[in-house]
Structure 1
Amino acid sequence: MRWTLKPKPSSEKVKALASQLKIEELVATLLVQRGIETFEQARQFFRPSLDDLHNPYLMKDMDKAVSRIESAIAKGENILVFGDYDVDGTTAVSLVSSYLKSYYPNVATYIPDRYDEGYGISYKGIDFADDNGVSLIIALDCGIKSIEHIAYANERNIDFIICDHHRPGDTLPNAVAVLDPKREDCSYPYDELCGCGVGFKLIQALGKNRNQTIDDLLIYLDLVATAIAADIVPMTGENRVLAKFGLEVINTNPRPGIKALIQNVKKKVLTITDVVFIIAPRINAAGRIKHGNAAVSLLTEYDLDQAGQFAAEIEQHNTDRKDLDKQITIEALDQIEINEETDRFTTVVYDENWHKGVIGIVASRLIETYYRPTIVFTKSGDKLAASARSVKDFDIYNALEASSKHLEQFGGHMYAAGMTLKEENYQNFKNAFEKVVSETIHPDLLTPEIAIDAEINLTDIDDRLVRLLNQFEPFGPQNMTPTFMTKNIIDTGYAKTLGQNREHLKLFVKQSNSNGIGAIGFGLGDKLEITKNHQPIAICYCIDENEFNGTVSLQLRLKDIKPD
């Protein structure tokens, strides 16, 4: 691991903020690192308010979208709410469809089949709309590059409203309205919304027309928070507001579908991390193993018993998903080792029998081992389909764009993308992608980095600091859990390994004359030797509160240790 200590911000800014907020300079340092330099910025950070949400009509084409929907309702048209099969797409479809159905009956939903139709707007979906007398499709979390699909729909007198958050191409589709804060001609103040977030802005605008306030829309924020967590968008601005209030809904009054998913969770209060690791994978599993419709059925069900049945089915899908991704990861690692490709700048693997629903997870697993931009291909019809994942600070979307002459289509973000190509182009693409990455990636980015906020002493850690750090939640990109480094540490002699394969490390550490504190290092069991005989070590960690037998104590969650 590569430890990187973040630059110290201006001492003048830190001292000024510490004085204004009456907080320690350490906490003020953490805030300034996050771009929070004034009292008002700190207020918005620590006390997010629904009043901080922007007027939805500031988004380009929002007026056109609302006008077309209101016209459809006035004329009794059939509306189809279309979205991708992942968490962002299924939550967005659930949100917009359930909102519209609350006052208008002629609304149906459509999630494309991952295996038959692939990602995004499909001709099959448009044909379904045509066959069922649909004259308006609202596309969520997809569509920004679907120029030919929209033209196909227009020929059939079907209008499209696109709600997307992916980067547009050079030309926008010929839709009635294109809502995407990443449009170059869109001056909306915040451009990091997820697809469900854009969907929420749409219902917020519709609500304004119906004299509804933001309080009337709170019941939908459990969906928005789930999408924000799953799509790994920055936890800043509107996302932070929506995630905070969405978490409150999840913890106090979640919809029956989410309630059914978390009913066996023993924690009293769920955090955004729990949403990422408990709720999101289960919603995702529906589209990965069976069909995304199962997720929409769960999230729009209002009967708790029926929701429980849906949740049980999805739980089984999630179990199947785990078994599949474990097996395919083993096969992919074997393939890399057999081909002796460990000196490459990229990892690109292919097997026609791999399950398309889990190749994105497998790509993430391979990065854990080889830490390189990674693409996993499988057979999909007469083409190959793939999921790509990147390493920190490397834009894999740009690398795909530079290699795109070998691709049929692609789309995504800086860190994750999907694509299809003809089988005969696989090797040419693989070579081109390797060339682009090798020429553009900084060698340091091929070693995992731990970004450290500050170097501190163990004596700096107390209940007040932890209370303040807890108020930094919800955590996520651009507001990660603060990570600290402390040097000249010794284990007091209680070091041991835990876990079935002794893969975890438990310590009790001290620094000079400080009080001792417990520390746990998941996956650090192989570091036991360097803690013995009171050898000084440096530790890199986050601060946790550990609850055991009703007693809460402070604990260090180790990210790495090394001899000091």
Structure 2
Amino acid sequence: MRWTLKPKPTEENIQQLSQELNVDPLVSHLLIQRGITNYEEAKHFFRPKLSHLHDPFLMKDMDRAVARIELAMANQENILVYGDYDVDGTTAVALMSSFLLESYPNVATYIPDRYLEGYGVSLQGIDFAEDNDISLIIALDCGVKAIEQVQYAKEKGIDFIICDHHRPGNSLPDAIAILDPKQDNCNYPYKELCGCGVGFKLIQALSSRQGKTTKDLLPYLDLVATAIAADIVQITGENRVLAYFGLQVINSNPRMGFMAIIDQVKKKALTITDVVFIIAPRINAAGRMKHGQHAVELLTETNLVQAKQFASEIELFNTERRSLDQEITQEALMQIQENKEEDKFTSVVYNENWHKGVIGIVASRLTETYYRPTLVFTKSGEKLAASARSVKGFDIYNALEGCSDCLEQFGGHMYAAGLTLSEEQYDTFKKQFEKVVSETIDPKLMQPEISIDAKISIHQITPKLMRILKQFAPFGPGNMTPIFMAEGLQDSGYARGVGEDEKHLKASLTQNDSPPIGAIGFNLGNKLNQIKDKKPFDAVFSLDENEWNGTVSIQLKLRDIR
């Protein structure tokens, strides 16, 4: 790994903030790195409030969206809530449909079939709307590029409201309203909402017209927090407020679907990381292995017995997804090795029999192994479909734009995208993608980087520091878990490999006669020889709490050693 120490704020700024907040200079150092430079900003950061959320009517077209929904209700029109099949899409559909159904009965939901319809707004979905006498579709987490589909709907007398967070193309669909903070002429102050977050702004606007407050919408924030975590958007500004309160709901009063999942895994007090690794994969598994509608049913179910039934079905999908994911990853790695492509700037692999539902996960796994922009293709009907994943600092969406003459369609963002092309274009595309990436990527981005907030000594690690660091949560892009570096460490003689095949490293470390502190390094068992026999070494780590026999102690969670 490349170790990169972030620039240290000036001593003057650190001292000034320390005095203003009455905190240790190390805490001020970490806050300034997160853009927090005064008391008021720190108060917003440490004490999020629902009142910190922006007025939803600041978003372009919000008034038009609200007016159209109110008109539909007044005229007793049928409304279809349409969303993508991933976590962001299914949580958004659950959010919007359950909110509307509280006061209006004529609401149906629609999730496209991942395999028969593919990503985004489909013509089949619009045909479904026509067949069911639906005159208004609210599309969530998709639609900003659905120019032809919205036109097709318009010809059938069906209106569209689009709630999206993806980058729009050069022209926009002819919808009644497009809610997307990434539109050029949208002055909404926060641009990093996920699809479910944009949906939340719409229900916030609708509820304000019904005389409700944002506090009345708290029960929906478990869905929004899950979408924020799963979609890996920035956990800053408004997203931080939504995630903060959403986690409280998940841990204190979750909807029945979440309660059923949490009950299965027997986990207490979930963090954002737990949401990413426990709740999100199970919701995703429905769309990957069967149909995203199963996830919506789970997330809108109000009877716990029924929710547990849905959750156990989804658990089976998740188990199947895991075994396919491992099998396909192994096949993909072998394909790279057999084709002698380990030294390229990209990984592009294809097998017509790979399950379309797991190619995104496989692309992420390959990126972890070879650390370069990666595409995993499979057959989808007459076409080839791929999931793309990138490395930190490289915009894979722009790279795909550079190959757009080979593609039928593509969409996504800097680090993840999806695309389709015709089979005869595959080899041409593969060469062109390698060329575009090799000419535009900074070679150092192809070595994983660990970004270090501050260099510290073991003496600085105290229970008080730990208490404050816990209040930095929820963590995520824009507010990652603080990472520290310490030099001249020694093991006090207990270092050993633990776990299956001793692949993890456990140690007790000291620095300049400091009291020993426990350390665990997951997947660092191969570094044992570097620290045995009291050899001095440097380490990069985050701070963690370890509970053992009822005693809680601080430990270092090692990320790398040298």
Q: What CA deviation, in whole Å up to 9, does each residue of 1:477-532 have, x standing for no partner?
A: 01000000000001111111111121111111100110001100000011011111
Shift of 1:442: 0.5
SS in 1 for 2:519: strand
Q: Quick one: distance in 1 between partners of 2:297 and 2:267?
A: 26
Residue aligning to 1:82 = 82
Q: What CA deviation, in whole Å up to 9, does each residue of 1:384-409 have, x standing for no partner?
A: 00100000111111111111110000
Shift of 1:433: 0.9
Residue aligning to 1:314 = 314
Q: What CA deviation, in whole Å up to 9, does each residue of 1:184-218 have, x standing for no partner?
A: 00000001000000000000000011001011111
Residue aligning to 2:377 = 377
Residue aligning to 1:482 = 482
Q: Quick one: distance in 1 between partners of 2:148 and 2:98?
A: 29
Residue aligning to 1:506 = 506
Residue aligning to 1:409 = 409
Residue aligning to 1:28 = 28
Residue aligning to 1:426 = 426
SS in 1 for 2:501: coil
Residue aligning to 2:496 = 496
Residue aligning to 1:211 = 211
Shift of 1:315: 0.5
Shift of 1:12: 1.9
Residue aligning to 2:191 = 191
Shift of 1:15: 1.3
Shift of 1:11: 2.0
One-letter code of the match for 1:207?
Answer: S
One-letter code of the match for 2:79?
Answer: I
One-letter code of the match for 1:416?
Answer: A
Residue aligning to 1:167 = 167
Shift of 1:266: 3.9
Percent identity, please: 67
Q: Give yes or no for the alignment of 1:268 onto 2:268.
A: yes
Q: What CA deviation, in whole Å up to 9, does each residue of 1:214-261 have, x standing for no partner?
A: 111111000000000000000000000000000000011000000000
SS in 1 for 2:472: coil
Residue aligning to 2:553 = 553
Residue aligning to 1:126 = 126
Q: Quick one: distance in 2 between partners of 1:219 and 1:152?
A: 36
Shift of 1:264: 3.5
Q: Give yes or no for the alignment of 1:72 onto 2:72.
A: yes
One-letter code of the match for 2:257?
Answer: G
Residue aligning to 2:43 = 43
Shift of 1:417: 0.4
| 1:31-430 aligned within 5 A | 31-430=31-430
Q: Quick one: distance in 1 between partners of 2:81 and 2:365?
A: 33
Q: Give yes or no for the alignment of 1:473 onto 2:478.
A: no
Structure 1 gaps of 5+ residues are: none
SS in 2 for 1:166: coil
Shift of 1:38: 1.1
One-letter code of the match for 2:520?
Answer: I
Q: Quick one: distance in 1 between partners of 2:80 and 2:501?
A: 51
Q: Quick one: distance in 2 between partners of 1:412 and 1:180?
A: 14
SS in 1 for 2:345: coil
Residue aligning to 2:457 = 457
Q: Give yes or no for the alignment of 1:515 onto 2:512.
A: no
Q: Quick one: distance in 1 between partners of 2:117 and 2:501?
A: 42
Q: What CA deviation, in whole Å up to 9, does each residue of 1:47-89 have, x standing for no partner?
A: 0100000000000000000000000000000000000000000
Q: Quick one: distance in 2 between partners of 1:41 and 1:388?
A: 37
SS in 1 for 2:192: coil
RMSD of aligned Cα (Å):
0.6
SS in 2 for 1:273: helix
Q: Quick one: distance in 2 between partners of 1:494 and 1:237?
A: 43
SS in 1 for 2:481: coil
Shift of 1:548: 1.3
One-letter code of the match for 2:235?
Answer: M
Q: Quick one: distance in 2 between partners of 1:252 and 1:115?
A: 37
Q: What CA deviation, in whole Å up to 9, does each residue of 1:110-154 have, x standing for no partner?
A: 000000000000000000001110000000000010101111111
SS in 1 for 2:282: helix
Q: What CA deviation, in whole Å up to 9, does each residue of 1:426-446 have, x standing for no partner?
A: 111111111111111111100
One-letter code of the match for 2:515?
Answer: N
Shift of 1:410: 0.5
Q: Quick one: distance in 2 between partners of 1:486 and 1:463?
A: 18
Relative to structure 2, which stretch is displaced further, 413-422 or 264-273? Answer: 264-273
SS in 2 for 1:364: helix
Q: Quick one: distance in 2 between partners of 1:496 and 1:216?
A: 52
One-letter code of the match for 1:561?
Answer: I
Q: Quick one: distance in 2 between partners of 1:85 and 1:489?
A: 48
Relative to structure 2, which stretch is displaced further, 376-385 or 255-264? Answer: 255-264
Shift of 1:288: 0.3
Relative to structure 2, which stretch is displaced further, 72-81 or 3-12? Answer: 3-12
SS in 2 for 1:501: helix
Residue aligning to 2:5 = 5
Q: Quick one: distance in 2 between partners of 1:11 and 1:122?
A: 56
Q: Quick one: distance in 2 between partners of 1:375 and 1:502?
A: 32
Shift of 1:550: 1.3
Q: Quick one: distance in 1 between partners of 2:524 and 2:208?
A: 53
Q: Quick one: distance in 2 between partners of 1:303 and 1:251?
A: 19
Q: Quick one: distance in 2 between partners of 1:80 and 1:264?
A: 32
One-letter code of the match for 2:168?
Answer: P
One-letter code of the match for 1:72?
Answer: A
Q: What CA deviation, in whole Å up to 9, does each residue of 1:5-52 have, x standing for no partner?
A: 001112222111111000011110000001011111101000010000
One-letter code of the match for 2:8?
Answer: K
Q: Quick one: distance in 1 between partners of 2:80 and 2:324?
A: 33
One-letter code of the match for 1:223?
Answer: L
SS in 2 for 1:85: coil
Q: Quick one: distance in 2 between partners of 1:87 and 1:9?
A: 38
SS in 2 for 1:520: strand
Q: Quick one: distance in 1 between partners of 2:517 and 2:11?
A: 30
Using structure 2 for the length normalisation, give the TM-score: 0.99
Q: Quick one: distance in 1 between partners of 2:347 and 2:363?
A: 9
Relative to structure 2, which stretch is displaced further, 425-434 or 172-181? Answer: 425-434
Residue aligning to 2:540 = 540
Q: Quick one: distance in 2 between partners of 1:264 and 1:11?
A: 50
Q: Quick one: distance in 2 between partners of 1:265 and 1:346?
A: 37
One-letter code of the match for 1:180?
Answer: D
Shift of 1:97: 0.3
Relative to structure 2, which stretch is displaced further, 547-556 or 58-67? Answer: 547-556
One-letter code of the match for 2:538?
Answer: A
One-letter code of the match for 2:303?
Answer: D
- Could you list the runs of 4 or more consecutive aligned residues of structure 1 that deviate by over 4 angstroms after TM superposition? none
